[in-house]
């Protein structure tokens, strides 16, 4: 995905605070046709007799509440709906399209391309030939993209202990192969000889692809293994590992399930959004309930931490209340609860982990309303088309979200035990050192960008993917 350039940042030191990313809020209602089989492996039946639902009259932008009596309709949380649409073993996007992650037969020879036009023509050709959904940056710029990540690890890791690397959602295995090859050529021999690389992959087909990609050289295969499981499930990790380790997540955060919350206006409390399948029709609708889910409540508390630290004055609260009555504006906010659950599992299982994550900082032309709203897109014959509603996803579309890197840092600190909510003294962790970098700046610092330069000087590694960033986080004993 190629987007308009972002302003470059200066790298003053290896670790610094990221800048905030803000988004607007819009709120229409949804209704879409959908097959019932995709609505969760374990459907939840409504267990109460009366619930409050809301509809929005677009002409006046007003919210109207009414009572609804369900009759054993099937409902599920938005995060479960998204998880099923993407990962259901039979009908999910990554199951139906086992080749949804593109694999190039050979590396692109950038020095033989004239410039951007030739590069884009080449991309169009390989997309049409393979009919793949997406080629990730680590695949397009192999092996150089993975080499940059490996160099960042080498500069920061404690090499006095065996190097342990975990990759979450390893795709085609291109990143693992590139990192292990770089370590073999550039790290001390003892580092490569003693290193282990574990891919935690939820897709069985992609897990097999990774074994094939990495296993073409036996020395790699002896250090590499794939565990086919959900990395966000803490039980799959076993006992906590006290040794230092590295965790890599490339384009993982964007496909993690999210929850959706709704508020009638600027001062009304948030409500959980649930997806409802009525037994007498094939359409889906949204159901609104008071906040009860612990994961959603923790995520909201982390998001609103700054507001909690500085309580508004009574006069400003009164003015805000008057403004919301005169100009009521419904709000919708997408919560990265899947990311929070994953970070809780990782910090619980790997308390001394260092983290490298790369993902989209924003997405262009998003049609779905709400803060941090996703793109729901499908691709065929090299051409993509976007849906107007997340409820349109029937296992034939990718659902991917932008990453709020400031919020990611805050959740990282919370899950490590340093950031406490509401005076919670049960967490006694240390603050982590973190940095968020534009992808181009990361590659200029750690990679070899000369390897991806075309004849006229155009460099897609630096000039494209301007809407992606890297997040680095390492543990520290500095408690200040």
Q: Do the domain assignments include residue 11?
A: no
Question: Which DSSP letter does residue 466 get?
Answer: T
Q: Do the domain assignments include residue 10?
A: no
Q: Do the domain assignments include residue 358?
A: yes
How many structural domains compose the chain? Answer: 1
pLDDT of res. 311: 44
Rounded-to-integer distance, Cα 375 and Cα 266, Å? 25
Q: Do the domain assignments include residue 424?
A: yes
Query: Strands 62-68 and 51-57: what pairing?
Result: antiparallel
pLDDT of res. 203: 86
| Domain that includes residue 417, residue range | 74-305+328-475
For the chain, which residues score pLDDT lower than 50? Answer: 1-70, 306-313, 422, 425, 478-480
Q: Do the domain assignments include residue 355?
A: yes
Chain segment 203-215, per-residue pLDDT in tens: 888 899 899 999 8
pLDDT of res. 323: 52
Q: Do the domain assignments include residue 311?
A: no
Q: Do the domain assignments include residue 46?
A: no
SS (H, E, C) 286-317: EEEEECCCHHHHHHHHHHCHHHHHCCCCHHHH
This prediction's pTM: 0.80
pLDDT of res. 220: 87
* Domain of residue 387, CATH code: 3.40.50.12710
Q: Which long-range contacts (CB under 8 A, 24 or more apart) does 83-90 make?
A: 83/257, 83/338, 84/38, 84/39, 84/40, 84/41, 85/38, 85/393, 85/394, 85/395, 85/397, 85/399, 86/255, 86/257, 86/398, 86/399, 87/202, 87/203, 88/38, 88/41, 88/395, 90/37
pLDDT of res. 177: 96
Q: Do the domain assignments include residue 34?
A: no
Q: Where are the alpha helices (DSSP H) in 310-416?
A: 314-326, 337-349, 405-416
3-class state of residue 220 by DSSP? helix
């Amino acid at each position: 995905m190629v987007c308009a350039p972002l302003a470059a940042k200066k790298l003053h030191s290896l670790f610094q605070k990221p800048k905030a990313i803000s988004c607007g809020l819009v709120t229409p209602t949804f209704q879409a046709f959908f097959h019932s089989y995709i609505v969760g492996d374990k459907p939840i039946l409504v267990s109460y007799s009366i619930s409050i639902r809301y509809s929005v009259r677009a002409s006046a932008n007003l919210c109207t509440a009414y009572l609804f009596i369900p009759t054993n309709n099937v409902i599920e949380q938005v995060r479960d709906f998204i998880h099923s649409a993407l990962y259901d073993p039979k009908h999910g996007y990554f199951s139906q399209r086992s080749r949804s992650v593109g694999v190039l037969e050979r590396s692109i020879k950038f020095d033989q391309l004239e410039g951007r036009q030739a590069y884009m023509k080449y991309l169009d050709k390989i997309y049409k030939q393979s009919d793949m959904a997406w080629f990730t940056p680590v695949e397009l710029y192999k092996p150089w993209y993975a080499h940059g990540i490996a160099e960042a690890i080498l500069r920061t890791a404690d090499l006095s202990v065996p190097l342990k690397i975990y990759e979450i959602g390893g795709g085609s295995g291109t990143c693992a192969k590139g990192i292990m090859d770089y370590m073999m050529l550039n790290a001390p021999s003892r580092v490569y000889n003693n290193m282990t690389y574990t891919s935690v992959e939820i897709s069985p087909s992609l897990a097999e692809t990774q074994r094939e990609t990495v296993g073409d050289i036996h020395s790699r295969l002896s250090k590499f293994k794939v565990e086919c499981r959900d990395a966000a499930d803490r039980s799959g990790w076993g006992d906590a590992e006290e040794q230092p380790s590295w965790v890599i997540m490339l384009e993982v955060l964007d496909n993690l399930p999210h929850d959706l919350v709704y508020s009638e206006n600027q001062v009304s409390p948030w409500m959980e959004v649930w997806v409802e399948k009525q037994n007498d029709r094939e359409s889906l609708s949204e159901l609104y309930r008071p906040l009860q889910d612990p994961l959603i409540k923790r995520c909201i508390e982390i998001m609103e931490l700054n507001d909690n630290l500085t309580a508004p004055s009574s006069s400003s609260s009164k003015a805000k209340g008057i403004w919301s009555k005169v100009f009521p504006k419904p709000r919708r906010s997408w919560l990265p609860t899947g990311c929070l659950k994953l970070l809780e599992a990782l910090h619980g299982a790997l308390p001394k982990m260092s983290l490298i994550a790369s993902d989209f900082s924003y997405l262009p032309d998003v049609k779905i309303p709400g803060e941090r709203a996703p793109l729901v897109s499908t691709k065929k014959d090299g051409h993509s088309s976007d849906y107007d509603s997340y409820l349109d996803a029937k296992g034939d579309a990718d659902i991917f979200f932008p990453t709020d890197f400031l919020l990611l840092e805050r959740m990282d600190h919370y899950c490590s035990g340093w950031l406490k909510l509401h005076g919670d003294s049960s967490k006694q962790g240390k603050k982590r050192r973190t940095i968020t970098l534009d992808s181009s700046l990361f590659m200029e610092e750690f990679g070899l960008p000369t390897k991806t330069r075309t004849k006229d000087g155009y460099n897609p590694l630096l000039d494209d993917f301007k809407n992606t960033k890297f997040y680095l986080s390492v543990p520290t004993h500095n408690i200040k």
